[in-house]
Structure 1
């Protein structure tokens, strides 16, 4: 019988490419990962791995087993969802991931709504960049997370992860000391998020689409800090609507751009019907501001 925990390790190896990366993603030691994969090969009775330098490649049998593993894990999530429906009331921990501007502007109201409807749920929020969400979901560190994509940085499908339709859509703004276009800021210093984040990729591609490579002066993830730096003449930046909560500082002009950021809820494949995941998604829908496509007060 194949061990499901070892199958998870094989699935992660297919995504990460090295045993060290799998160990880091799942908080194991590299030797423990190697031992478990060797045990899985013995269970399978055929070679699943072949080493090429520091990387480990999967054999055709290993790749085929990963495909079956994805289906098995999705069915297990579905089974877990059905069992949760059979219980009386929602209770226990719900591990939520969210990017910083949503954590500040949307998540608190959603948590209040969730607590009012399901007081037995213990929501626990962790700030995480969308680029790291898939690995955290597959590792079981999160149950549901908010992720976003930009017009210039569409989301790539992630094995083992499902997403909802967009929960809300935000316009993007050029933040500068005066109105203008992105192309007109080719000679200005730029303030961008840390490399490796979707926000950094979006700003870089927006500048490239305007015909130039930006000169990056500051690398800052918090949009409040970004706007404060723009206000004192330290550069220009691209900021989404949630990042402008409370309005810009004096001296900063926000010029709306024909670009958008869309936010979705992500969870493990097969978990869409889990009552806790569905409850959190419903709470999010109910608190999205009307200007971002949320429900309108008809009273």
Structure 2
């Protein structure tokens, strides 16, 4: 099989366009002897004459035209590769795998994907829903390129494997049954709910967040029921089985029998962070996704201000 040399094919192509070796040399900033040598070498490689004398000029043989007919398809594909590579370098194309915890998907990731489809349709986002803590494991294993998690679940700031990007402080509200004695209050003090049954997971970040907020208010919450999913937690609140601290993201879709009330004293929040492998933030497509997430998070924070 012939070992094709793109540079020599380009010289042959230019000769066809310019008509003489001298003009070809000028166009390519080569010497005429170098042009002739390269074309002679190409003829030896393909095993057929490519040029024939025509007075003081040369003309392409039928074999040379056959070679160029096939080479045009190669040049076209290389042009496309150049264009796609330039777009990749500028973050216009690329695939980014995002691992995100459940409430971050509809609140942050989906709006970011929608925005990117409008501004950078060549950037493809693949979403994988995961637990907040597991997101870092997937990131470290190379199974996702960008992880959305909670600061409470993040590795130490000094962990050399990751770069963390703060995105959002998501307010925590109290979910009360609609018939609760404090359902009509503008704000609720956690201390006023010290005798209530609380609904939260038996372990993990949400258990720690709920216990920490209640203990900061001066009491240890009595766990009436254990659940990890917000659908289950809000269903139990709606049924009057207890109260719960709920991030505003998780209560984006209202339930008729649940009233959300702001916490009046310390206004607890959970911190949402993005993370990439160290150096990954310099990837153009990843940078586009991070920018879109920041924009959505800023808008969310503004819209999710005091109720």
> Residues 234-245 of structure 1 correspond to what in structure 2 (within 5 A)?
234-245=241-252
> Residues 1-299 of structure 1 correspond to what in structure 2 (within 5 A)?
87=89, 90-149=92-151, 156-157=156-157, 158-164=159-165, 166-177=166-177, 178=180, 179=182, 180-193=188-201, 195-196=203-204, 198-257=205-264, 258-288=267-297, 290=299, 292-293=301-302
Q: 1:154 to 1:212 in 2, by over 3 A?
A: farther
TM-score by length of 2: 0.59
Q: 1:185 to 1:155 in 2, by over 3 A?
A: farther
Q: Offset of 1:205 from its aligned partner?
A: 1.4
2 CA distance for matches of 1:88 and 1:171?
35
Q: Is the 8 A contact 1:97 1:127 kept in 2?
A: yes
Query: SS of the residue aligned with 2:281?
Result: coil
- Residue by residue, what CA displacement relative to the aligned partner does 1:82-132 show, whole Å, maximum 9, x if unpaired? x99874764443110111111122211111122233333331111122222
Query: SS of the residue aligned with 1:199?
Result: helix
Aligned residues between the structures:
208
Q: Offset of 1:162 from its aligned partner?
A: 0.9
Query: SS of the residue aligned with 1:200?
Result: helix
TM-score by length of 1: 0.61
Match of 2:24 in 1: none
Q: Which range moves more in the overlay, 185-194 or 259-268?
A: 185-194
Q: Is the 8 A contact 2:197 2:243 kept in 1?
A: yes
Q: Which runs of 5+ in 1 are unaligned?
A: 1-82, 295-299
Q: Offset of 1:250 from its aligned partner?
A: 2.7
RMSD: 2.8
2 CA distance for matches of 1:86 and 1:276?
7
Q: Which runs of 5+ in 2 are unaligned?
A: 1-84, 183-187
- Whose radius of gyration is greater, 1 or 2? 2
Q: Offset of 1:154 from its aligned partner?
A: 8.4
